[in-house]
């Protein structure tokens, strides 16, 4: 099987009804992103941050995978596949994808503020002040905020270097460091990009643009990939 590496962004989740901060003029569901999506915001007002992510979690519980997620899961039958996602929701998992690297963390997990190795599943949608890890430290959302490093970035880079096909779905390619992963795709590897607005043309051979939503564009990508790489 060919190794297919997929980078997904907020556009694919937006089709399932999950809002994104880049479409809201600096406000995200009524919150200033500097207050709720940065490590400084956490230090200033952890209760506000907890409230924000509780609301996001509640909304995410109602969301269902769309056709874009489902086609990606379907492609696992034909390719050795890894999804590198900038999204913190679990819609890829719900759709049936199995090998997922969450670059920016996971909404339905918490971690210790005193020991980052202590990570817990969140049942339901609430995480409250006073909920502590086994060592007595407050739990925080298991999210990579502005001002923090991306701990899985090196793994994502190595995965990208090994790709034989690289697919980008629903991302503006302006959020770094994830957008920089394209720089690690081998020059001879075919690249497919699916997004309603193609942000920039790539100066490399064998690039295929699908200027539409993931829910429709992924049908075309699937058909093209299966025609180009028939099962051996």
Q: Could you read off the pLDDT of 125-172 as tens digits, one per residue? A: 999 999 999 999 999 999 999 889 999 999 999 999 999 999 999 987
Nearest to 28 by CA among 52, 8, 3: 52
118: burial class by Cβ within 10 Å (0-12, 13-18, 19+)? middle
Q: For helices 214-228 and 67-75, give the axis angle rounded to 10 degrees.
A: 20
* Known catalytic membership, residue 102: no
What is the spatial distance between Cα 7 and Cα 184, in angstroms, rounded to a whole number? 12
Spatial separation of the C-alpha atoms in residues 167 and 206, rounded to whole Å: 12
Domain 1-18+65-104+149-232 has CATH 3.40.50.1220: yes
Domain boundaries, the chain: 1-18+65-104+149-232, 19-62+105-143
Q: What is the pLDDT of residue 26?
A: 47
Distance from C-alpha of 56 to C-alpha of 89, rounded to nearest angstrom: 9
> Does domain 19-62+105-143 correspond to CATH entry 3.40.640.10?
no
Q: What is the pLDDT of residues 203-229, one digit of tens each?
A: 788 999 999 999 999 999 999 999 999
Catalytic residue of the set 69, 102, 104, 142: 104
């Amino acid at each position: 099987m060919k190794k297919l590496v997929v980078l997904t962004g907020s556009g694919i989740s937006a089709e399932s009804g999950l809002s994104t901060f880049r479409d809201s003029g600096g406000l995200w569901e009524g919150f200033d992103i500097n207050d709720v999506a940065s490590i400084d915001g956490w230090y200033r007002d952890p209760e506000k941050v907890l409230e924000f992510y509780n609301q996001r979690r509640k909304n995410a519980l109602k969301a269902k995978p769309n056709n874009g997620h489902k086609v990606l899961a379907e492609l696992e039958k034909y390719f050795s596949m890894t999804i590198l996602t900038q999204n913190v929701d679990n819609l890829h998992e719900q759709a049936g994808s199995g090998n997922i690297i969450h670059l920016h963390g996971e909404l339905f997990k918490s971690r210790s503020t005193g020991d980052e190795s202590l990570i817990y599943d969140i049942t339901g949608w609430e995480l409250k002040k006073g909920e502590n890890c086994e060592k007595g430290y407050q739990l925080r959302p298991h999210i990579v905020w502005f001002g923090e490093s991306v701990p899985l970035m090196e793994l994502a880079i190595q995965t990208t270097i090994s790709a034989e096909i690289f697919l980008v779905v629903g991302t503006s390619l302006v959020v770094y460091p994830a957008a920089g992963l394209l720089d690690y795709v081998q020059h001879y590897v075919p690249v497919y990009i699916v997004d309603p607005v193609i942000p920039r043309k790539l100066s490399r051979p064998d690039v295929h643009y699908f200027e539409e939503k993931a829910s429709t564009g992924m049908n075309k990508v699937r058909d093209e990939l299966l025609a180009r790489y028939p099962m051996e």
